Every structure is written in C-alpha cells, then in structure tokens.
A and B are shown apart, each in its own frame.
Chain A
Amino acid sequence: MQALRKASLSQRISNFLFLRPRLFLALLLLPPVLWLGVVYLGSMLTLLVQSFFYLDGFTGQVVREFTMRTYGELFTPANLDIISRTAGMAAAVTLAAVLLAFPLAYYTTMHATRRTKAVLYLSVTLPLWSSYLVRVYSWKLILAKEGIISWFFTQTSLSWVLEGLLRLPGVGGPSLSISPIGMFLVFLYVWLPYMVLPIQAALERVPGSLLEASEDLGANALKTFRHITLPLAFPGVVAGSIFTFSLTLGDFIVPTVLGNSSFFIGQAVLSHQGTSGNVPLAAALTTVPMAIMALYLIVARKLGAFEAL
C-alpha cells in the first residue's frame, strides 16, 4: 500500500494503461493510422478520383465528371511510348541490380567476417548519406564527353567501343551523359543499395545447415543455389525489386539530367500537372506504375515467392 500511495504520475499512468491493454494499443496506433490513413491513403484516393475527370481541350479547364476518357488517352501512341520506355528502363535496372546485388549480399552474409561485413554494409549504405541530386549531377560529369569514362576509353585506345555503344539505336546518344545507357548506369548506381539490403536480410535468415544438408544429399554448389538458396532468398529479391522498379518508374530527375527529349513517366506527370494543367492525365499516368507493381506482385506470388516467408 505504501508503494501505491507514493506512486508518481507516470507510474500511475503506466498502471492505468497496464490494466487497459486495448486502450494502450489504440493510443499507440493513433499517430501512424492518422498519418497513413488520412495523409497517405487519402491523398492517393484524391489522386485516383482526379484520374476519372478530364481536361476540356477548348477551355483548358478540368471537367469534374466521371469518365474513362482520360484513361483512354493513356493508350495513345505517344503515351504508350512513354510507358513502355519507362517500364523497360525499370526492368533493365532491376535485373542488373539483382545480378550485382545477389553475389555481394551472398558473400556478405555467408562468407565475410564480422569486420568485413561491417565495412561492406557501410560502403553499400554510404552513398545514401549524401544528397541524391548531388550524386546525379556528379554522374553527369563522370559520364560527360570530357569526363573520366571517355578519358579512360581514349587512354586505352578503346574509344571505338564507346562510340559503337553510343551509336546503338534506342540506347545510344551524343555522349554517355545524354543517353539511355548513361541513365541506366546512374539508376543502377542510385538504387543498388535498395536491392542489396533486402537480399542480405533474406539470406541472413537462411541457416548454414540448410546449405550443408543440400550438399550432403548430393547437390553441388550450383544445384544448392538453384534449389535452396535462391528460393529462400527470393522474397528478398522481390522486396528489392519493388524498390528499384518503382523508384525507377517514378523518377523524373535522372531522365531530366541525363536524358534526351524522350519523356519518362515521371517527367510526363510533372509537365502535365504543371505547364499544361492536365491534372487528370497526370493522375492517370501515376496509376500506371501502381498497376504494374500490383501485377508484378501477383505474378511473384503465383511463382511462390512468398511461400518461404
């Protein structure tokens, strides 16, 4: 009784909440639910509603009536071109990120010592500490005609390789700093950490004894990788690819800094809602990455990506 009478205010609040666990949970969840529910989902819903309006071509005004015609506009050749260009770049970046990230994550989790692990972890995340814009503009300089990459090709008398690459239709350009190849390199650079970390987290949860068991049962390293390591790490690959894919789909800075006149979805959205005031079309374009991601997740689920979770 002595203890109860002397209880401080915070002690009494604790005791009050201890006896009412539901109230405690409700208080705990209130801020994130408000944030996610109102600010996040709410604005997304507004966006979705906008996409069912349309822009009157004569008056330049948005007509607030339910219609599917804005979505119809997505299927004009110009917009389809933008969508396929962006999705193609996102797919290429994602694929390359998996190919680079997997071996690194595998080495880090399965073989590296604690010290090496820490160093690798730092070097993967270190670029995230500096400004994204600064990094993109640095790449502009690296990739420029006068930049270090061109210099390297010239010094090694391999300029013809670089020129050949830049002459390739569709991906080439006047220099690496104004070409889809350059854009691809920069995307790969800026999003790679988002692929490494989830794969690393997934591999971290694969016990070494599973790999030993597989070898013990006659599977060499390649078969063990195919049947055990890869399926178990696949949720990590999917998680990482959600990042790299959607970040690439929505980005407008890299295409603006390093691109030519061909638009990416992000740029198109920016110009539609800005200069041309076509908010409905901008909104409709924004739903495209969401639809692609939803489709991707459904396919991944069908492939059993989440069964090991």
Chain B
Amino acid sequence: MQPAISFVNVSRYFGEVKAVDDISLDIMDGEFFTLLGPSGSGKTTSLRMVAGFERPSKGEIYLHGVNLSQLPPYERAVNTVFQDYALFPHMSVAENISYGLMIRKVPKAERMQRVEEMLALVRLPNLGGRKPSQLSGGQRQRVALARALILRPPVLLLDEPLGALDLKLRQQMQIELKTIQQQVGITFVYVTHDQEEALTMSDRLAVFNQGKIEQVGTPAEIYERPGTAFVAGFVGISNLISGSAAEAIAGSSESFAVRPEKIHLAGDGASVPDGMLSADGRVRQVIYLGMYTRYTVELDLGGELTVVHQNLETTSMDVLAARGKRVRLMWNRLHVRPIGD
C-alpha cells in the first residue's frame, strides 16, 4: 500500500541549527499518527514542512506519491489545525469554516449546507453566526477543526491543538478527536509533547529527539519496548538502571529499564520468588495521588527507582507512613527492557 505521507531523508536547517536532521518516515492511509517529542525536537518543523510553511533543506516529502517539495501551501491537499487556532477575528464562525470553500468559489448554497454539516460534526450547531471572540477555548478549537475538515483533505495536520485547554476538556477532546477521525476516515498527523495524549490517541507514533526520530511504533510497542534510553525516559517514567547496579541486579552490565507499575513493593528482607529480580533500598519520597501512590526508592546499589501502586486497599495514612522505611523491590524478569546506548 502506498503511504499517505512519506518523508525521504528530510532535513531542515535554520542557520547552524539542525531542526530536522535526515528523517525518513512513512505514514499510512487512515492512520492517527503522532509526532511526539519535547519542544525543539523537530516535530513541529516536520509538520510545517508537510503543510508547506517550511521547505526542507534536503530531502523530499510525498503525499500519495506526489512530491510536495516545490508546491506552495495553497496548492497542497492537506489542511492544518493550528496551535493558537488562528481563527479569523473579523469573520463569523460560519465564514471562518467556509473560508476554504469561498476561496475555491463553491456556490453559496452548497457552502452553507457543508458548513451546517461541519458544525454538526464538531457538535456546535447554531453557533455559525457568532464571532470567534464570543466562543470558549474548546469551542474555538472545534471551529478550527471544522474549518480544516470542510475541504475534505486526505491528510489533516494538527499542531498541538489541545495545548491551550484545561486538563478535563483536553481529555474529552482527545476522545472526540479520535472519534471524528474514525468517522471521517482521513489520516491525522498529530503533533504533541504530551506522551499521555500520544498514547491515548495514536495508532502509531514517532518519538522525536534533537531533530531525529528515535523510534516509531504503536503506543504499546513504544511504552513496553522502548528502543532507546531517551524513549524510555520520555514516554512514561524512566527507571533506568545502568553500570554496576545493573550488573548486581540482572547479572549484566547492560543498562535496562523497568516500568514503575511492574514493580512490587515488599517489606525489608521479603523472600524473592523464582523468576523475579530484586533490589533493596529506602523510600525517599511518597506522593499520594488519590488513585495511586508514587514512591521514589533510593537503591543501596546506587540510583533510584520510581514505583507506582494503585491505592486498592491502602489509605493515604498507610502510604505516607512508608517514607524513610527500608523496602525490597521485586519485578518479573520479563518486564526488564534492555536499553542499548
């Protein structure tokens, strides 16, 4: 199958800075694909090169086999949802949404009908006459989405569209975006620095770091089998053990990662069952988070491990009393993920 978007050895330099450094990536048709990474990792620049706001310094980008590199933004069959929404303040909601159709000289009757459809899709019926300034953040976000979707692009680009929303609304919009994507069946390329958001929404994701792609995979692959120390640290809590501590615990000096929810917290000197690895230490910090508790344990061998426990039976009194106590940490060999350097 032909990919929807292909990056072929794409680089983008700003002076001396390699914002994007020789990336190659295929994004398939109908995928919800996320570019995940910290700020300055090149994910937004990569998205902007697909939109046409930036040109690659080297390499080519293809949309369904068509080389985009020489096309201006207004001739590319992709549309963008901007981080700040970029709604036109002098136009009503309906005028904003129908802007692309107006530019393409679609007859007014059809324009109005399609605007109504889009307003229904993003669940904002009857708001067409308002000005953007009269809408809430969440509503503006939906208008921006409707405006980009009305042209029925094969690929929709979203640049941290939920960044400005509060947590509750963000979680709600994550589900909604995913639903809308499945409903319209087009490829979404989504940029975010929020790893939880990336895991929630994506079919696949690429983890960016310093202009390069560290790893591409499904959320489960990325989370459970991080390929590099950076991915292990950026997606989820790192818990990286290396050097002599790694050798003493696992019998090999190769660094490894273990996810915090895989670790059992047992009393000092508890017996270690077969197939389990263990490490002793002292609880340095306890953070009670309602649904679960996060412990930071200082290992005797050096280094720290974070352990997360659901508060199934325990109360805040119990968990907070654990601070300063000696504990034995145990986890199944299967959950050890070796990390190449």
A: residues with CB less than 8 A from B are: 207, 209-210, 212-220, 223, 227-228, 231-232, 304, 307-308
Contacts and interface: CB of A to CB of B under 8 A. Distances in A.
B292 interface: no
Nearest to A219: B103
Interface residues of B, number: 25
A21 B315 CA distance: 50
Contacts of A308: 89-90
Nearest 5 A/B pairs, CB to CB: A217-B100, A213-B86, A209-B86, A308-B90, A215-B73
B89 A217 contact: no
Interface stretch (B74-82, B228-236, B266-274): B74-82
Contact of A216 (B74, B84, B87, B104): B74
Contacts of B83: 209
Given A218-B151, A223-B103, A212 B53 contact: yes
Given A212-B73, A216-B73, A218-B103, A232 B84 contact: no
A215 B52 contact: yes
B51 interface: yes
A207 to B, nearest CB: 7
B170 to A, nearest CB: 20
A217 B86 contact: no
A217 B151 contact: yes
B88 interface: yes
26 contacts: A207-B84, A209-B82, A210-B86, A212-B53, A212-B80, A213-B82, A213-B86, A214-B99, A215-B74, A216-B52, A216-B73, A216-B74, A216-B78, A217-B79, A217-B99, A217-B100, A217-B103, A217-B151, A218-B100, A218-B104, A218-B151, A219-B74, A227-B102, A231-B90, A232-B90, A308-B89
Given A212-B53, A213-B80, A223-B103, A218 B74 contact: yes
Q: Main SS of the interface on chain A?
A: helix
Contacts of B82: 209, 212-213
A98 B147 CA distance: 32
A307 B88 CA distance: 12
A213 B90 contact: no
A227 B102 CA distance: 10
Nearest to B144: A213
Nearest to B83: A209
Contacts of B74: 215-220
A213 B88 contact: yes
Interface in B61-106: 72-74, 78-80, 82-84, 86-90, 99-100, 102-104
A39 B74 CA distance: 56
Nearest to B84: A209
B88 A228 contact: yes
Contacts of B90: 231-232, 304, 307-308
B103 A216 contact: no
A207 B86 contact: yes
B89 A232 contact: yes
Given A207-B84, A223-B103, 12 more contacts: A209-B84, A210-B86, A210-B88, A212-B80, A214-B88, A215-B52, A216-B52, A216-B53, A217-B74, A228-B88, A231-B90, A307-B90
Given A213-B86, A213-B88, A232-B90, A220 B147 contact: no
Contacts of B104: 218
A118 B56 CA distance: 30
Interface string B98-136: 011011100000000000000000000000000000000
A210 B89 CA distance: 9
Contacts of A228: 88
A141 B99 CA distance: 53
A228 B52 CA distance: 19
Nearest to A235: B90
Contacts of A223: 103
Contacts of A216: 51-53, 73-74, 78-80, 148
A115 B51 CA distance: 29
A209 B295 CA distance: 43
A232 B88 CA distance: 9
B153 to A, nearest CB: 10
A213 B87 CA distance: 8
Given A232-B90, A308-B89, A220 B72 contact: yes
A135 to B, nearest CB: 38
B115 to A, nearest CB: 14
